[in-house]
Amino acid sequence: MNFFFSRVFPLIFLCVGAGILFAGIRQVVHASSSDDWPSVPGVVRSASVEYETDSDGAGTYRAEVLYGYSVEGVEQLANRVTFGDFGSSDPGRAQRIVNRYPTGTEVDVHFDPADPTRAVLEPGVHGSTWLLPGFGAIFFLAGGAMAVFLPRAMRRKRERAADGYDGPRYEYEEAG
């Protein structure tokens, strides 16, 4: 059990954190490069607030904005408003996004020239773009700290146990 908590548990945090951090950094790179992407006219096909629940019954609201555009004569559909736009427990946030893009609205669609299926309505890096890499960095750093400090703490505990120390002892004088 000591091996699990001192070696495996931190490794799980490190791996999950590294994966999330990698995905987040890729997202920031795409968001940053989207400022330079060409744009074409498009039309919002549908816009609605979606409510999704997880296995625990907790829910999030997300703006679902579907838009169509054409690149070199090929019709495309996409639904990304910004990079890093995640669901929220606040339905008002999703509703504000939907209100900006009512069905039938003409929009400028910024698309990746290397992959025209990747598109966004609001290019660039926004505050929410940093959430995923930030979350990944926290997990990664927590795993690193556990990998360094848990083995040391467990070793000290074993050494104290070998010396016969089994915890704090307090001696009290009786008032007499």
Q: What is the DSSP string of 37-50?
A: S-EEEEEEEEEEEE
Cβ partners under 8 Å of residue 73, min gap 6:
none
Same domain, 100 and 45: yes
> Given pLDDT bands bounded at 50, 70 and 90, which one contains residue 175?
low
Looking at the predicted structure, is the pLDDT value of residue 173 above 70? no
pLDDT digits (tens, 9 = 90+) for 116-129: 999 999 998 877 77
> Given pLDDT bands bounded at 50, 70 and 90, which one contains residue 168?
low
Q: Looking at the domain assignment, is residue 68 inside a domain?
A: yes
Same domain, 40 and 116: yes
> Given pLDDT bands bounded at 50, 70 and 90, which one contains residue 99?
very high
> CATH code at 67?
2.40.50
Looking at the predicted structure, is the pLDDT value of residue 176 above 70? no
Same domain, 75 and 52: yes
> Helix 9-34 vs helix 131-162: angle between axes, to the nearest 10 degrees?
160
Same domain, 90 and 155: no
Q: Provide the residue range defining the domain that includes 4.
A: 1-35+124-160
Instruction: Name the DSSP letter for residue 129.
Output: G
Same domain, 69 and 113: yes
Same domain, 28 and 41: no
Q: Looking at the domain assignment, is residue 167 inside a domain?
A: no
Q: Looking at the domain assignment, is residue 117 inside a domain?
A: yes
Number of domains within the chain? 2
Averaged pLDDT score across all residues of the chain: 86
Query: What does the pLDDT average to over 137-162?
Result: 81
> Given pLDDT bands bounded at 50, 70 and 90, which one contains residue 94?
very high
Same domain, 53 and 110: yes
Cβ partners under 8 Å of residue 64, min gap 6:
46, 47, 48, 49, 50, 79
Give the C-alpha separation, 40 to 109, whole Å.
Answer: 5
pLDDT digits (tens, 9 = 90+) for 45-84: 999 999 988 777 778 899 999 999 999 999 999 999 998 8
Cβ partners under 8 Å of residue 7, min gap 6:
147, 151
Same domain, 152 and 104: no
Q: Looking at the domain assignment, is residue 176 inside a domain?
A: no
Residue given tokens 């900006």 in the structure block: 100
